[in-house]
Amino acid sequence: MDMELSPEQQRLVDTFQGELTAAALLEIASGKRSVEQLATGELLDFLQLANSLYRAGEPLITDADYDFLYLAELRNTLFSIALNRRQWPRRLRCRQECCRPIRHMILLR
């Protein structure tokens, strides 16, 4: 059974400023496209739209799916990006600013 947007949901999607289309939104929400297949921008757009729909009283996905599936994937993606960009010092005694190790890391909640 295919999902369809209600007229109010369609209105909210039409006013959305992101790149995600209504068809793509439904593919993601219905599970036809897994969360692992989404580009980071698509995932961000999906989360913003899902949040807007929820706040308007027209939820598209459950709170649990939002928190534990889609938002968790975004956290994992951003954490992986942060780890990949972390620069380790080439020499232990280097005093240059670019080679100093990162003393702390912001954890996403």
pLDDT tens, position by position, 55-104: 999 999 999 999 999 999 999 888 887 776 665 444 444 455 554 454 44
Residue 108 domain flag:
no
So what's the pLDDT on residue 79?
Answer: 81
Residue 16 domain flag:
yes
So what's the pLDDT on residue 65?
Answer: 95
So what's the pLDDT on residue 5?
Answer: 93
Average pLDDT over residues 5-9: 93
Residue 107 domain flag:
no
Residue 109 domain flag:
no
Contact of 65 with 53, CB cutoff 8 Å: no
pTM: 0.72
Phi-psi region for residue 57, left (φ > 0), alpha (ψ -120 to 50) or beta? left
Instruction: Write the CB contacts of 84 (distance below 8 Å, at least 6 apart in sequence).
Output: none
So what's the pLDDT on residue 35?
Answer: 92
Contact of 99 with 91, CB cutoff 8 Å: yes
Residue 62 domain flag:
yes
Q: What is the CA radius of gyration of the chain?
A: 19
Domain that holds residue 67: 7-99
- Look over the chain and give the mean of its residue pLDDT values, rounded to a whole number: 81
Q: Which of 1, 60, 57, 32 is nearest to 45 (CA)?
A: 60
Residue 2 domain flag:
no
DSSP letter for 60, please.
S
Domain count, the chain: 1
Residue 1 domain flag:
no
